[in-house]
A and B are shown apart, each in its own frame.
Chain A
Amino acid sequence: MSVAATTPRFKDNVHDALHDERLQRALPHARNFMSRRADAVARLPEFDALRDSARAIKDHTLAHLDLYLEAFERKVVEAGGHVHYARDSDEAIAVILGICKACGARVVTKGKSMVSEEIGLNAALEREGITAVETDLGEYVIQLRGEAPSHIIAPAIHVTRDDIEADFRRVHRDLAPDRDLSRPEQLLSEARAILRDRFLSADVGLTGANFLVAETGTSIIVTNEGNGDLTQALPKVHVVLASLEKITPTLNDVAQILRVLARSATGQDMSVYTTLSTGPRRPRDADGPEEYHVVLLDNGRSATLGGPFADMLRCIRCGACMNHCPVYHAIGGHAYGWVYPGPMGAVLTPLLIGVAEGGQLPNASTFCGRCEAVCPMRIPLPNLMRTWREREFERRLTPPLARAALRLWAFFAKRPPLYRFAVEPAMRGLGLIGRRRGRFAWLPFAGGWTRGRDFAAPQGATFQSRWRAKSGATQ
């Protein structure tokens, strides 16, 4: 069972998000990512060539995914680790619970893992009486708030500093109530001290993976805080939870993708910690886990290969698409209603929970194309969203009135002379009526548009008629 989606109520979610003053105060922070990425890209002349290289590596890997998985598995076992396969969320949870029970685990610390959100791991652990502790600062904050991440790399971007102070005062009851928490540094220090104890007392550490390397049987995490490293270095058991498409052939291939990952995500050249883990601790090692498990989750990804959405499997979860999305900037991540927000979420969500549940998300796009322009893996996100829209229409999930309107428009659009014949007088008419104010506050059949904003009045002539007049005049 994965987390319940509110995606079918997307329109209500959007309405609520737009009217949520606290959220709207926090959201402008998401825009900071854009200039940082631009600066980092400007500093690396090879950036676009690296994008092509990264894309080619992933395409090659996905075309040979079965064989690279076999190679990866072989290497993990050679290094003394274990590989587990899970067809869906339930199986992944069962495997992880099995590992936890076998070692009598009571506390599991977690590095940041979107796949663990996808399978609803925390709730499943709690049901079995195992405490799950999120250790990424943003994840820790939202766990205290009982929320889901609203961004794949900045999970608490919807939360303000004031909110965090209030949450810490509410939950950290053992600390002096009159302590000063007015500066962000103080909040960080408090979380650091509390989580330090958790790291040292955990029985199992669970991390995600940015890469699984077939050449060496290595899992790699890319982080800034160091929480992922403490999560996997201190407990007796290290569990890696990752989806199939994280497989990458060689370390040299990883080096290519690393050069576009952090730049696209946070605008760093490299994240602070890129950590390669291979098997459990070795006989002479002074520290490290005694057991190493990799849980490989499918959840529909194998069926996506070779199909119209296969490009999505190149995604490296950098978040650049949402960082540059005007829709995400306006509504934040929670409105998308499931685990993955923004343009990548609009494509991935219908794949993972079905078009009937998630089909509204691909409609939440202005098709401005910025997501594709910044995607390090060159995923054609607008095109994939368009493909979902077509699916939604074909499967009659679009509301009847919208279907009728689209059919009517299509009837005219397929007959250009008729289209011009119908549209030119209509535009002249609307232009005349709206001439005085230059806009309409109300139009028939367009209440959904005009409730929130005015409709600009046409200027009278159509583009085509003006083009004809212009080219006639110059010839």
Chain B
Amino acid sequence: MPREDGLPPGTLVMLILHVLTGGPRHGYAIAQRIHTLSREELSVEEGSLYPALQKLLLKGWVKASPAISETGRAIREYRLTPSGRRQLERECANYRRMGAAIDAVLDTA
């Protein structure tokens, strides 16, 4: 399992897909966005980001296209595909269901 310090296991893919709903981004921007949106609670290790992005490309949930970064370097921008959007919905629903179930257990004495 990739090292996801601070991230609940299995949620990296969901988070990346969600971040991309806001438009195409490159790898650094994706990591920054997750860090920002989580109020600096979650921090994605680069060691897990890029293998995860390859998995998203393989599954066809995102597409990559060449771009130039703000610093003028050659990068790739990732954009969400329709099947990626569907996968995101599935993963969110799953996560919420799990969360509710865990809450239910914890709320019972």
**Do A and B assemble together?**
no
Binding site for B on A (CB under 8 A): none
